[in-house]
Structure 1
Amino acid sequence: MARVIAALIRHGDYQQLSDTPSAHQPFALNAKGLTQGTELAAILNSFCNAQQCQIQPMIATSKLLRAWQTAQQLLIDLNQPRMQIQQYADLAERCVGSVANLTVAQIRELIKLDPRLDDLPSDWKSDSHYCLPFQGAESLLDAGQRVAKLLTAEIQILQQQSSSDQLKIFVGHGAAFRHAAYHLGIIDYEQIALLSMFHCQPVYIECLQDGSWQHIGGAWKIRSEHSQYTD
């Protein structure tokens, strides 16, 4: 069975609404984000040379514009004509459902106006288990499980189909990737709140033949003490 490594890449910095917890914002990369990926192709090529593997020609990305733009720039920089982008809804960050792209104040007001609902806990944005009480919402752990399922399915297919060792690129979102890493047994639950991801800096994970996963390269970002979860 071929060895297949997953490169988890958080998209570049993007235009983001202030005080708005939804990570399903449909905005583009900003100027900073457009420059953050300039060294990404070289980083990936260097890793592949060291691991003696090839970059799989289909880059997986979420359907959010900032992730697709990051993948598109990477595709250009890698300069491999056969490479393409495939978009997956399941690579998106946590969905907050019907209150998507409302501000924190607006969400709190809706909670107060609904007699069925309790007040929001103070740490609701960073509580991995908490799910907003609105239709379509999911918790951070729900999002991580969704991403972990997709990663596992994609990598296992490639393991069976590939005749040579491969690197599969996934461009998505920090919190969802981090919670996926927990579900895959790569980090402990206590580490979720302590870690983040650098923009456009790969974290490499590998699914072993027994189905277990391990972190084999790339650095997690150490989260500042008072920061909130953001994509």
Structure 2
Amino acid sequence: MRFDVITLFPELFEPFLKVGVTRRAYESRQVDVRLWPLREHALDNYRRVDDRPYGGGPGMVMLVQPLERALAAVHAQRSAEGQGAPAPLIHFSPTGRRLDQALVQELAQSEGAVLLCGRYEGVDQRFLDRHVTMEVSLGDFVLSGGELPALALLDAVTRLQEGVLNDAASHQQDSFSDGLLDCPHYSRPELLELDGQALPVPGVLLSGHHADIARWRREQSLALTWRRRPDLIAAARAKGLLSRADEKHLAALVGAKSELQ
């Protein structure tokens, strides 16, 4: 799997590729990340990659020509290394599809992509129209550039690769993997005393009964999702991801809330 990142700030990526549980995947090139500094593809003495927008207005617009040269260099290197068909180009933009676990899982099973990290007011639309396969957003807010979304995508995709996590089941229990939010987790000590409060670990987690523990975790996941993201409950129901036991527990939650009101 290979990701080529076109960016004005490659230095933002370099520390990220050397730390954490995903580090080995980058060092071994299991997930091969290549950085393409955009200013290296600007031909004038000022290494200009942006200019004022036609029609006026605030901010600057990233120019087509340096982007075209950078992308051509990416494709040439990929072709020389036997990569085959041109990789899809992902552009990070507030107007794009929201990054979610379903998209992460889809990309994790692919051969990778070219990631375009925009800056300033945006990228000249003519380049986007010619080359972009997909636009991706982290959410309904605006960042200074596409580097942070690119880092988020790389981390999310890399941790799903075989052998990256110490326990292969870890990502299967993540939030959103089964359509729901993850359940709470606890570790030592068994009884935590803070500010005069005794805070024990839920007894079921100490019972050793795996079926009871699995049931408790599922019910906690359902309850948390129902309280915080009811839209995910509706989506899971529509996809047939909820069992009869799930629906029974949700009905109990609704009933308990009605009684309190």
Q: Larger C-alpha radius of gyration, 1 or 2?
A: 2
Whichever structure has more helix as a proportion of its residues is: 2
Structure with greater contact order relative to length (CA < 8 Å, sep ≥ 6): 1
